Amino acid sequence: METVAAIPKYNLSEEQEKKLILREYRALLRCLKPKLKPGDKELVRVAFEMAADAHKTMRRKSGEPYILHPLAVARICVEEIGLWVRSTICALLHDTVEDTDITLDDVERNFGSEIARIVDGLTKIANVIDVNASQQAENFKKILLTLTDDPRVILIKLSDRLHNMRTLESMKREKQLKISSETVYIYAPLAHRMGLYNIKTEMEDLAMKYMEPDTYKEIARKLSETKRERTRYINEFIRPLRDKMEKAEFDFDIYGRPKSIHSIWNKMKKKGVSFEEVYDLFAIRVILNSPPEREKEDCWKVYSMITDEYTPSPERLRDWLSNPKSNGYEALHTTVMGPQGKWVEVQIRTKRMNEIAEKGLAAHWKYKEGAADESRFDKWFHQIREVLANQDTDSVDFLQDFKTSFLAEEIYVYTPKGDVKMLPVNSTALDFAFAIHSAVGARCIGAKVNHKLVPLSHKLRSGDQIEIITSNKQKPSEDWLNFVVTAKAKSKIKDALKEEKRKIAEDGKYFVQRKLEGMGAGYNPQNIEILADFYKQPSTLDFFYQVATKSIDLKELKEFHVLGDKLEAPKPQRPPIENKSESTNHDLAKKDAELIIFGESSDKIMYNLANCCKPIPGDDVFGFVTTGKGLTIHRTNCPNASKLLANYGHRVVKTKWAKNKEISFLTGLNIIGLDDVGVVNKITNLISGEMKINISALSIEANEGIFRGSIKVFVHDKEELDELVMRLKQLSGIHSIERYDTDTPS
């Protein structure tokens, strides 16, 4: 497998190449030997010959014969994932249908429908019809559709990706970056989710080698420089534990294992520390050979021996024995204070658990007893199937949702009766309600977490017990989408909103029909299109909906002409919309018009200011068409801006402020400075006395020589606010001033 990449690139004769291919094929057969049943060897040979013949004229970028790639992928499947003969055949054929003259029918004729189905799942979608869809996302969606029928598709795909990562050297730089970022974004988390820790780690390390080569080399260098001293420390740490376990007559293996470069780098970034300050550069692993009925008991006995010798950190105990992860991982992790005052992580597991940790799903099947036990993998597949059934999701959104819903670490929470539910990290009470049942989610008004009342958006933590409170009057609303993370909750909320919109739009439809017939114009698709276009609505459904919610009052219909039964729009467009020749710096929407907020005709537009960022005149803003609320105005640097602009560009309207000194806006400032006599007096004097700005609220706390103040003031626009900030900064002792949104002072 690795040997393939190490072959010199161009100087092999045809004879040597043949020998090399044969050698790799025989190595594959040797790995398969314990698993071969009568007739299997012949099938593998047919697959190998078929692939070798199909790929005979093809070479990889490194110059070596292409067939070495499918052989290497098949070997990873067998040796590193623990798959068997049928998967080997699929791995050998995985590129034939896409790249050669072999068809799926040929595969089915030779090997049957099951293998043909898996090979089809591995074949990329050649061209995506939808221009907006990302090909990567579409291909991934296809793989997942097959995954729920046959998980081997994913396991072979991961082997294929791992071999590509191992042989990325000969690719162009941009290709290396594309493949590496894809790997980190989706394939490594997927390997982790399938329980393949070694493969996940290697993928992340290889991706880092290409994406951040300098950091990678630096950490690798430091790891090798400190290796001797680390080995010495590990031996010192292990010695007393080994003695104790030998006395207790355990059959065990204990060793130190270095952490991956990628995980060390993550620690450095997350904790903001240097390499020298990362304490867990390695973990100690204890592998016990225990009979199934004694596994848990033995692991806890060893845990107590370790914690007798070294003091544990109570909050760092991870018990995945009582509650295995959904990818099947079982182990006991603890962090203890070792010699020289260093924290050391210790992982305790049995041989069976270790095999599941390394071979993931494949080992999980091997140990699965009795079909009655629906494994956690099955539950996971069932959840994915549920989401995939809802096919109208855009592929890129789908990929993002899939990542947050199915690839995140999970938390364990409990129903009032004590049943365990598994949810991705960052799930809220509302996600839990939808996990119970769609109808419970749709009617949820709040929850009790550990008997305390909490809002829908409350983030759950492992171990919480949740009771959902529902009301028949409750309906899903648009802002729910801002805080749910599970794909099921998102898709059910979107469905409900669409349905609700459709119902409301019916009233609008009826109203428009009466108006048109009253004018003698026909109620037909052409006329409705003309109206939707005139009122700048993205679809006729939106138009009817806006009419029903009185956001559009159809006053301008008087100015329309009727020719026969056809409507003709008036020449000058609606007064609230002015065409502007100059474009703003933030050309946020490809519209030729700008909405003027607080202009003379602004009262004709129903709008509100977003609570998430509290814009004031003069801020860079954009308008966002919100279901049911008309237009919402957001600052362009609002925390939600990039999400709204990226996902819903068609609902964004360019917006501009008009000067209006009559209206003031509430905004807030946080001030930090040195506590000094008369500081409050100086601040209030400047704001109310000199600048004549109204103060709505003022609170100042002093502590150990530092004061922190928060002030809410009414300003007319951003210019006035900027001037206030500038003049406050000139006061002596003021250290920093920051604007905050008046609902959320820091």
What residues contact 697, with CB distance under 8 A and at least 6 apart?
710, 711, 712
Q: Is 251 exposed, middle or buried (0-12, 13-18, 19+ CB in 10 A)?
A: exposed
Asked whether residue 237 is assigned to any structural domain, the reply reads: yes
- Is pLDDT larger for residue 401 or for residue 445? 445
For residues 82 and 126, state if they share a domain: yes
> What residues are paired with 668 via a beta bridge?
712, 740
**559 flagged as catalytic:** no
DSSP 8-state assignment for residue 573:
P
For residues 518 and 563, state if they share a domain: yes
Highest mean pLDDT among 97-106, 527-536, 560-569, 666-675: 97-106
Asked whether residue 523 is assigned to any structural domain, the reply reads: yes
For residues 477 and 512, state if they share a domain: no
pLDDT tens column, 351-400 = 999 988 888 776 766 665 433 345 666 677 777 777 666 655 565 566 66
pLDDT band at 130 (very low <50, low <70, confident <90, very high): very low
Is residue 9 pLDDT above 60, yes or no? no
At 60, list the tokens: 């990889």
Asked whether residue 433 is assigned to any structural domain, the reply reads: yes
Query: How many angstroms separate the CA atoms of 718 and 186, rounded?
Result: 43
Asked whether residue 279 is assigned to any structural domain, the reply reads: yes
- The backbone region for 669, taken as left when phi is positive above 0, alpha when psi lies in -120 to 50, beta otherwise, is beta
What residues contact 369, with CB distance under 8 A and at least 6 apart?
none
Active-site entry in 17, 40, 99, 507: 99
What residues contact 466, with CB distance under 8 A and at least 6 apart?
413, 414, 415, 416, 429, 432, 447, 448, 449, 460
**Hey, what long-range contacts does 383-389 have (CB within 8 A, 24 or more apart)?**
383/488, 384/144, 384/147, 384/148, 385/148, 386/488, 387/487, 387/488, 387/491, 388/141, 388/144, 388/145, 388/148
Last residue of a domain, one of 568, 585, 600: 568
Q: Residue 246 CA to chain centroid, in angstroms? A: 46
Active-site entry in 98, 225, 251, 409: 98
For residues 476 and 435, state if they share a domain: yes
How many domains are there within the chain?
6
For residues 164 and 31, state if they share a domain: yes
Asked whether residue 391 is assigned to any structural domain, the reply reads: no
Residue 586 · residue 636 · CB < 8 Å: yes
What residues contact 242, with CB distance under 8 A and at least 6 apart?
254
Query: How many angstroms separate the CA atoms of 184 and 193, rounded?
Result: 13
DSSP 8-state assignment for residue 82:
-
Residue 255 · residue 245 · CB < 8 Å: no
Query: How many angstroms separate the CA atoms of 677 and 673, rounded?
Result: 12
Q: What CATH number does residue 65 fall under?
A: 1.10.3210.10
Asked whether residue 185 is assigned to any structural domain, the reply reads: no
What residues contact 249, with CB distance under 8 A and at least 6 apart?
none
At 155, list the tokens: 């396991």
Last residue of a domain, one of 657, 687, 709: 657
Q: What CATH number does residue 442 fall under?
A: 3.10.20.30
Domain span at residue 356 reads: 220-367
Residue 539 · residue 525 · CB < 8 Å: no
Residue 284 · residue 346 · CB < 8 Å: yes
Given this model, what pLDDT does residue 575 score?
A: 43
**99 flagged as catalytic:** yes
Instruction: Report CA dihedral (437, 440, 441, 447) to the nearest 10 degrees.
Output: -120
pLDDT tens column, 151-195 = 888 889 999 999 999 999 988 877 787 788 778 878 888 888 888
For residues 141 and 10, state if they share a domain: yes
Other C-beta atoms closer than 10 Å to the C-beta of 482 total: 10
**According to DSSP H, which parts of 248-360 are helical?**
261-271, 295-309, 351-359
Residue 160 · residue 153 · CB < 8 Å: no
Q: What CATH number does residue 715 fall under?
A: 3.30.70.260
Instruction: Report CA dihedral (384, 389, 395, 401) to the nearest 10 degrees.
Output: -40
Is residue 206 pLDDT above 80, yes or no? yes
For residues 231 and 358, state if they share a domain: yes
Dihedral angle sign, alpha carbons of residues 145, 401, 448, 628: negative
For residues 456 and 529, state if they share a domain: no
For residues 588 and 552, state if they share a domain: no
At 526, list the tokens: 């052409």
pLDDT tens column, 328-347 = 889 999 999 999 999 999 99
- Is pLDDT larger for residue 116 or for residue 640? 116
- How far, CA to CA in Å, does 83 sit from each of 67, 154, 199, 404? 20, 12, 14, 28
Asked whether residue 504 is assigned to any structural domain, the reply reads: yes
Asked whether residue 427 is assigned to any structural domain, the reply reads: yes
Query: How many angstroms separate the CA atoms of 284 and 333, rounded?
Result: 10
Last residue of a domain, one of 439, 459, 485: 485
Q: Tell me the average pLDDT across 200-210.
A: 93
Lowest mean pLDDT among 10-14, 262-266, 315-319, 542-546: 10-14
pLDDT tens column, 21-78 = 999 999 999 999 988 888 999 999 999 999 999 999 999 888 899 999 999 999 999 9
What is the percent of the chain with per-residue pLDDT over 70, rounded to a whole number?
A: 81
Is residue 577 pLDDT above 50, yes or no? no
Lowest mean pLDDT among 35-44, 307-316, 441-450, 550-559: 550-559
Query: How many angstroms separate the CA atoms of 162 and 144, rounded?
Result: 18
Given this model, what pLDDT does residue 652 score?
A: 65
Instruction: Report CA dihedral (610, 614, 615, 616) to the nearest 10 degrees.
Output: 130
For residues 560 and 585, state if they share a domain: no
For residues 59 and 145, state if they share a domain: yes
pLDDT tens column, 275-316 = 888 877 899 999 999 999 999 999 999 999 999 999 999 888
Given this model, what pLDDT does residue 581 score?
A: 30
